[in-house]
């Protein structure tokens, strides 16, 4: 019974709260972070040049393919795995990279002004958008380079309909286990693939690779500064 003078709640608010609560319960959160240190058999500057090409290095990431390359060495990638032997996970990310020559550091993160993909779900698959970030810090080590590598991946997806009846705590536990396992596979596999591909790449480079790269980079920085001043 409602007291005289009290405000009766809008029934639409109750429906909205129920829908929002139901949506939260039907989401899967994949969230994994890993940090590793690797040795790479090239001097730091050559290593920086090798890993600075975003379009090339993203092809070295396990479970990830480049679905679109934008101007300025920016890409859209798709992460795809099959989990629990039956459920396909598709996650899209738009990426950009920043190379800091002074700090000998490469940072990959979300591309600004991107259009997210529409979330889709079927009986045994889910598709959505995600957040990808990684940092590689380079330093001399023996005759090569030490790489301190940090990688983070996160996405909130709708549950495949085949998982809707499973308790949320069980799904969360499975998602946590998948997240930790997959980010480790990506980090470890990335460095293995990068090492395997390095020698063929290096054999194709000109002898003045470093000089050419530094010259091109200086020209790009000058052009970027000129464009900034004209805005």
Distances (CA, A) of 66 to 37, 54, 58, 72: 25, 10, 7, 15
Tens digits of residue pLDDT in 63-119: 999 999 988 889 999 999 998 888 899 999 999 999 999 999 999 999 987 788 899
Q: CA torsion sign, 200 to 201 to 206 to 211?
A: negative
Identify the structural domains of the chain with CATH numbers, from first to last.
30-226 (3.30.530.20)
Element (H, E) at 28: strand 27-40
Assess whether pLDDT exceeds 70 at residue 48.
Answer: yes
Average pLDDT, the chain: 84
Lowest-confidence segment of 37-41, 64-68, 112-116, 209-213 by average pLDDT: 112-116
Q: pTM score, two decimals?
A: 0.80
Asked whether the beta carbons of 74 and 96 are under 8 A apart, the reply is yes
What is the rounded CA–CA span in Å between residue 190 and residue 61?
Answer: 5
What token pair was written down for 6? 């009290």
Is 174 a residue whose pLDDT tops 80? yes
Say how far apart CA 71 and CA 28 lie, in whole Å: 33
**Residue 221 has what pLDDT?**
58
Q: What is the mean pLDDT of residues 9-13?
A: 46
Mean pLDDT of the region 20-39 = 76
Per-residue pLDDT at 155: 92
Estimate the share of the chain in helix, then strand, then coil, as percent rounded to the nearest 5: 40, 35, 25
Structure confidence at residue 226 (pLDDT) = 54
Top-confidence residue, 175 or 13:
175
Q: What is the mean pLDDT of residues 210-227?
A: 72
Residue 6: the pLDDT is: 46
Work out the pLDDT band at 179, boundaries 50, 70, 90: confident
Distance between CA atoms of residues 117 and 158, nearest Å = 13
Q: Report whether pLDDT(7) > 80.
A: no
């Amino acid at each position: 019974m409602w007291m005289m003078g009290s405000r009766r709640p809008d029934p639409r608010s109750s429906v909205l709260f129920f829908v929002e609560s139901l949506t939260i319960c039907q989401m899967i959160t994949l969230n994994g972070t890993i940090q590793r240190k690797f040795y790479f058999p090239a001097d730091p500057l050559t290593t920086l040049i090798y890993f600075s090409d975003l379009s090339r290095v993203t092809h070295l990431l396990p479970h990830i393919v480049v679905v679109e390359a934008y101007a300025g060495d920016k890409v859209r990638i798709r992460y795809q795995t099959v989990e629990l032997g039956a459920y396909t996970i598709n996650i899209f990310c738009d990426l950009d990279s920043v190379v800091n020559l002074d700090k000998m550091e490469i940072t990959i993160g979300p591309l600004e002004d991107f259009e997210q993909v529409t979330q889709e779900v079927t009986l045994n698959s889910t598709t959505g958008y995600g957040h990808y970030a990684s940092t590689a810090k380079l330093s001399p080590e023996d005759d090569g380079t030490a790489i301190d590598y940090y990688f983070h991946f996160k996405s909130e997806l709708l549950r495949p309909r085949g998982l809707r009846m499973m308790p949320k705590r069980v799904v969360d536990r499975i998602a946590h286990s998948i997240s930790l396992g997959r980010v480790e596979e990506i980090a470890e596999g990335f460095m293995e693939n990068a090492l395997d591909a390095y020698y063929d790449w290096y054999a194709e480079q000109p002898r003045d690779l470093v000089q050419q790269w530094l010259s091109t980079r200086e020209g790009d920085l000058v052009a970027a500064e000129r464009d900034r001043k004209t805005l």
